[in-house]
Structure 1
Amino acid sequence: MPLRIDENTEKVIDEFVSKGNLTTGALVDFTDLSRPTVTKRLDRLHAAEFIEYVHEPTALWQLIEDPRSD
């Protein structure tokens, strides 16, 4: 199933592109989205292999590839 990129996913991806590696908490702060919304978007991006954990205990994420560039 292809990744659905909605407005909230766009906000999360934009933060990765502009700031680099980010924690879940930082994404919540920078996007003004709720933690469950950010977590859901991260789970989808991770399942589609566009992001990966850099450090799982702190939930530090890294964008591997921008899914919008396809």
Structure 2
Amino acid sequence: MTTQPMPVKIDDTMDDVLNTFVRTDGYATTGYLVDETDTSRPTVSKRLDRLYAAECIEYVHEPTAFWRLVEDPREDT
């Protein structure tokens, strides 16, 4: 049995997070995303959790919360 990644709901905040990844060649820290999106850390963290669960991002360096965008879920829609 194969598992499918969960779909990602694209709201304005998720779109801002994804746009930031695109502007930085797919790499960003959680703190940078918070600053660039002018959104709270818990809100950004929830979006990152969703992207991670959907296998759209991966940790590059977990201690610093450095992420890499693997696949933009907006390209599937």
Range into which the TM-score falls when normalised by the shorter chain: over 0.9
TM-score, normalization: structure 2?
A: 0.88
Q: State the identity as a percent.
A: 64
Structure 1 counterpart SS, 2:7: coil
Distance in 2 of aligned mates of 1:8 and 1:69:
17
Which residue does the alignment assign to 2:13?
Answer: 8
Query: Could you tell me how far 1:3 is from its partner in structure 2?
Result: 1.3
2:50 pairs with 1:38:
no
User: What is the total number of aligned residue pairs between the two structures?
Assistant: 70
Normalized per residue, the structure richer in helix is 1
Which residue does the alignment assign to 1:25?
Answer: 31
Which residue does the alignment assign to 2:74?
Answer: 68
| RMSD across aligned positions (CA) | 0.8
TM-score, normalization: structure 1?
A: 0.96
**Gaps spanning 5+ residues in structure 1: where?**
none
Query: Could you tell me how far 1:2 is from its partner in structure 2?
Result: 1.9
